[in-house]
């Protein structure tokens, strides 16, 4: 049997860790805070990456690759960027090893760099330093570039996928002739992220704006998508930044407009990371393991023959192969589990742990009856289903599962979203978990006070928040609209 997973009710954090390790998604490594993404986890990430990459390309973006290392001095160039982060970074100081007198490898003290290099925590600085050479005139704009890369932010307390010292991500960095055009780009990418979260990950998100305190260091405005996890905590799933002319000014990137006048370029940047793997897991999975939305599942249908004696092996194997061929011909991703010394119960648990959306089991009696046993991972239901037309049935059922998983997550979020108007209720609901829609007086001081008292932060000011006069739940001062508070990952 697959090893058991700690139930969510008992210890949510332990459940998450058990699931990630036992489903073979990721593993700890010898380097503190750095993870290994195992083949099954990487297969899911590849599907996410390819889907996003296609959306980026369909909207005119091109991929490129910029250096892993950034000269230390670059971080001093954009003041807000420096203050905001760039402190917990991996610093390269030497470029050579040597064999010491004890035969062990040691750092060669002679090979010290004149200027230390920082392993990129994000690439605005190194990229805008290149853009200075690439952009001369308005004809060079817009420049719509994305890169898929690894980045490093030194973390003291790490959790697989959610917060790791090294992680994989994409970072888009675009350059525009006007503020309006850059803002349209910022919003377009936010919409792409929201579309991806909802249609691919089956995870509803709230699109919103970050407060000044939560804004990306160096941005004029940060847009985000926020999702709710099953434990009632929010998770920031993607950000899209309008950077104004901040980086263009810091790196002196100007262009000649149609009138021949020189202007600073307008910028955006936007990114999502392997953190989405954590969001995907926590949005849907259960105590038996992963629950994967069909469009992202590396295997959509697994077929398990239930052998009974060695005579049954060829006939059941052949029948299962036919089902597999039928499904593959319809474009489904199918796995045939004909291993003959593992017990069906073990196999069922294994495929549930891995979150395969549909499991088909076929025994001798099923074969005689022209039926199969079909199990849905998301609902954990089993039904006898006719063999005739099974491939098409699976194809339709996968669409249905995708939609129902989204609806279930949306219903959960709706049930866990609370409009509150008093401080008492505010504190109480935040304690219980979920999203809290409350009035806020718009000051950083109040935001900080709330964070210190409740550990909750303003996740975002929703883009669709209606104007609504009210009073701040914390200070009683006037407020123009409700914002979303929650404890967050």
Binding residues (CB under 8 A) for a copy of itself: these are 27, 29-31, 34-39, 42-43, 46, 62-76, 82-83, 86-99, 103-108, 116-119, 126, 129-130, 133-134, 145, 149-150, 152, 154, 166, 168
Tokens coding 7 = 């139930």
C-alpha distances (whole Å) from 342 to each of 110, 142, 213, 316 are 58, 57, 55, 15
Residue 63 Cβ, how far from a copy of itself at the closest point, in Å? 5
Q: CA geometry: angle at 398 spanning 359 and 354, to 5°?
A: 45
Q: CA-CA distance, 334 to 240, in Å (whole number)? A: 36
CB atoms < 10 A from the CB of 397, how many?
20
Residues 6+ apart with CB under 8 A from 82: 75, 76, 217
Write down the least CB distance from residue 303 to a copy of itself, Å. Answer: 19
CB closer to a copy of itself, 12 vs 69 = 69
Name the residue nearer to a copy of itself (CB basis): 62 or 136.
62
Residue 217 or residue 362: which is nearer to a copy of itself going by CB?
A: 217
Nearest distance from C-beta of residue 452 to a copy of itself, angstroms: 24
- Which residue number, 68 or 488, has a Cβ lying nearer to a copy of itself? 68
Minimum CB distance to a copy of itself, residue 314 (Å)? 23
Q: How far apart are alpha carbons 265 and 177 in whole angstroms?
A: 6
Select 31 or 392, whichever has its Cβ closest to a copy of itself: 31
Q: Toward a copy of itself, which CB reaches closer, 63 or 383? A: 63
Are 290 and 380 contacting, i.e. CB atoms less than 8 angstroms apart? no
| Cα end-to-end span (Å), the chain | 32
Half-sphere exposure in the Cβ direction for 366 (13 Å, CA): 24
Give CA torsion, residues 366, 371, 372, 376, to 10 deg: -140
- Check: CB of residue 317 under 8 Å from CB of residue 305: yes
Q: Could you give the residue ranges of the DSSP H alpha helices within 293-337?
A: 312-329
What is d(CA 451, CA 474) in angstroms, rounded to the nearest whole number? 11
Instruction: Give the C-alpha separation, 264 to 241, whole Å.
Output: 17
Task: Tally the residues of the chain.
Answer: 489
Find out whether 248 and 266 touch, Cβ atoms under 8 Å: yes
CB of residue 54 to a copy of itself, shortest distance in Å: 12
To a copy of itself, the closest distance from the beta carbon of 267 in angstroms equals 17
Q: Where are the alpha helices (DSSP H) in 76-195?
A: 79-84, 124-134, 179-195
For residues 145 and 397, which CB has a smaller minimum distance to a copy of itself in the complex? 145
Q: Which is nearer to a copy of itself, 12 or 154 (CB)?
A: 154
| Nearest residue (CB) to a copy of itself, 130 versus 322 | 130
H-type helices in 78-152, by residue range? 79-84, 124-134
Query: Between residues 273 and 479, which has the closer beta carbon with respect to a copy of itself?
Result: 273
- Residue 316, Cα to own-chain centre: how many angstroms? 40
Q: Supply the minimum distance, in Å, between the C-beta of residue 470 and a copy of itself.
A: 40
Minimal distance, residue 469 CB to a copy of itself, in Å: 42
Q: How far is the CB of 326 from a copy of itself (least distance, A)?
A: 22
Closest of 280, 411, 305, 413 to residue 355, by C-alpha: 280
Shortest approach of a copy of itself to residue 53 CB, angstroms?
Answer: 9
SS3 299: coil
């Amino acid at each position: 049997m697959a090893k058991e997973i700690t139930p969510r009710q008992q210890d949510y954090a332990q459940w998450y860790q058990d699931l990630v390790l036992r489903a073979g998604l990721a593993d700890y490594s010898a380097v503190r805070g750095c993870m290994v993404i195992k083949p099954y986890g990487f297969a899911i990430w590849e599907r996410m990456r390819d889907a996003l990459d296609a959306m980026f390309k369909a909207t005119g973006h091109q991929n490129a690759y910029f250096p892993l290392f950034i000269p230390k001095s670059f971080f001093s160039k954009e003041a807000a960027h420096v203050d905001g982060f760039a402190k917990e970074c991996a610093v390269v100081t030497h470029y050579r090893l040597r064999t010491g007198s004890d035969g062990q490898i040691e750092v060669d003290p002679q090979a010290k760099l004149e200027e230390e290099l920082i392993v990129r925590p994000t690439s605005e600085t190194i990229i805008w330093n290149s853009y200075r050479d690439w952009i001369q005139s308005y004809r060079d704009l817009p420049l719509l570039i994305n890169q898929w890369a690894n980045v490093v932010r030194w973390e003291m307390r790490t959790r697989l996928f959610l917060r790791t010292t090294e992680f994989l991500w994409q970072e888009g960095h675009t350059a525009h002739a006007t503020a309006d055009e850059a803002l349209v780009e910022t919003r377009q990418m936010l919409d792409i992220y929201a579309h991806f979260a909802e249609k691919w990950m089956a995870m509803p998100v709230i699109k919103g704006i970050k407060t000044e305190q939560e804004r990306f260091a160096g941005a004029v405005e940060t847009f985000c998508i926020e999702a709710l996890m099953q434990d009632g905590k929010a998770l920031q799933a993607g950000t899209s930044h309008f950077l104004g002319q901040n980086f263009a000014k810091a790196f002196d990137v100007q262009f000649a407009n149609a009138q021949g006048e020189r202007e600073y370029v307008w910028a955006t940047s936007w990114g999502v990371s392997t953190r989405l793997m954590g969001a995907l897991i926590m949005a849907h999975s259960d105590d038996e393991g992963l629950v994967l939305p069909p469009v992202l599942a590396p295997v959509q249908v697994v077929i398990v023959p239930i052998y009974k004696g060695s005579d049954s092996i060829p006939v059941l194997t052949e029948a299962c192969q036919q089902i597999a061929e039928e499904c593959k011909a319809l474009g489904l991703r199918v796995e045939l589990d004909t291993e003959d010394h593992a017990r069906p119960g073990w196999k069922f648990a294994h495929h549930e742990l891995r979150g395969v959306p549909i499991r088909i089991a076929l025994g001798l009696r099923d074969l005689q009856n022209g039926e199969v046993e079909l199990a849905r991972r998301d609902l954990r239901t089993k039904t006898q289903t006719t063999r005739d037309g099974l491939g098409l049935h699976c194809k339709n059922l996968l669409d249905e599962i995708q939609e129902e998983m989204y609806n279930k997550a949306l219903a959960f979020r709706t049930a866990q979203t609370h409009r509150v108007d008093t401080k008492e209720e505010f504190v109480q609901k935040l304690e219980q978990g979920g999203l809290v829609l409350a009035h806020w007086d718009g000051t950083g001081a109040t935001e900080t006070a709330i964070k210190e008292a409740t550990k909750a932060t303003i996740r975002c000011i929703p883009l669709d928040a209606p104007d609504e006069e009210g009073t701040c739940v914390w200070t009683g001062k006037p407020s123009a609209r409700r914002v979303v508070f929650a404890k967050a990952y």
